[in-house]
Chain A
C-alpha cells in the first residue's frame, strides 16, 4: 500500500509493546506534545517577573490565560464558576490544539519505521508462493488446488504432488505462523487527536467532569435530572437524559477524531496527487480546523459544565 498510494490507516499503528501495553504512534506523539507543554509551562514559570509591562514569553502566556478566562467567563458570567472551570477548560484547549497542530508538522506521518503489525493473517508457502489469507485450522485440498493453478501453472502430476506437499506443509506451517508477527512500515508519529482512543478519552473526561461539577454544586439534587418519579413524562425525560450523556461522549469523540483524521487524509491525498504548492492552502485550512475544533470542544465542555451546575429551579 505504501508504495502505490498514500499511507492511510484509520487506527493508530503499534510501534512497540511494553508488556501488555501496545505503544502506538499516537501515544508517542501525545507524550511528545505533553512533554513540550510541560516544558513550556516550566519555561514560563522560570521567566515570570513581577512587572506592569510583561514582555516576551510572559506576555504571550498572560495573553493566552486572559483569552481563555474570557472564553470561560463569557459562558458562566460568574467569577467563582470561571475559576472552578478554567483549569480544565484551558487544559482541554491547549492539549487539543497542540495535538492538532503537531500533526501538521513536517515529519509527522512521513517518517516511517517498521512497527509491530497485527498477528499474521496469511500464510506464505515458500516453495510455491501460495498465499492463504485468514488461515483456518481446516485446509481443503480443493482450495489449494485453485490457488496453485493460479499462481504456478504446472502439469497435473506435479500439481497433485504439490497439493500433497502443501497440505503437509500447512499442517506444520500453521503451528509456526500462528505466533509470528509480520512487520510493515508505519509512521513514527501520528497526530494524537487522529486516534479515536484519545478523543474518546477526552470525551469521557469531559462528560464525567460534567457529572462531578453537577454533583458538587447541587449534591444529590443533581440526579433528579436523570431519575425523577414525580410524573411519567419527567421519568421518560430522565431516561432520555441518561442516553444523551452517552451520546455526548460519542459526539465529542467523533467530532474531534473525524475532523482531524479527515484533515490528515485530505493532506495525504492532495500531497500524493500534487506534491508541491497545491497542499499549501489545505495546510492553512487544517490550521483553522485544528483551532476551531479545540475551541468547539472547550466551549461545549464549559457550556455543559455550566448547565450542570445550574439547578432546574433557578432557570
Chain B
C-alpha cells in the first residue's frame, strides 16, 4: 500500500473513461465510413483528432503516474 499501489490505481481508474470514449468514437467513425465510404478520409482525420483528445486524458493519468513513480 504505497506509491506502487497509487501508480497502479491512477493508471487503472484513469484509463477507463478514455478507453470507453475512444471505443465509442471509433465505432461511430467506422459506422459513418461504412455508410459513406467516399468521405472516409475526412471522417478518419476528424476521428483521429477526437481520439487524440480522449487519449490526452489517459495521458494526464500517465503523467501523474510517472511523477508519482519517478519524483
Contacts and interface: CB of A to CB of B under 8 A. Distances in A.
Nearest to B42: A74
A304 interface: no
Interface in B18-71: 48-49, 52-53, 55-56, 59-60, 62-63, 66-67, 70-71
Interface stretch (A54-62, A218-226, A293-301): A293-301
Q: Chain B binding site: helix, strand, loop or mixed by DSSP?
A: helix
A8 interface: yes
A8 B71 CA distance: 10
Given A255-B56, A258-B60, A259-B59, A9 B70 contact: yes
- Is chain A's interface secondary structure helix, strand, loop, or mixed overall? helix
Contacts of A257: 63
Given A258-B59, A258-B62, A262-B62, A10 B67 contact: yes
A261 interface: yes
Contacts of B48: 292
A251 interface: yes
Contacts of B59: 254-255, 258-259, 262
A204 interface: no
Interface in A281-312: 292-293, 295-296, 299
Nearest to A196: B63
A29 B48 CA distance: 29
Contacts of B60: 254, 258
B63 A258 contact: yes
Contacts of B71: 10
A258 B70 contact: no
B52 A265 contact: no
A296 B49 contact: yes
Contacts of B62: 258, 262
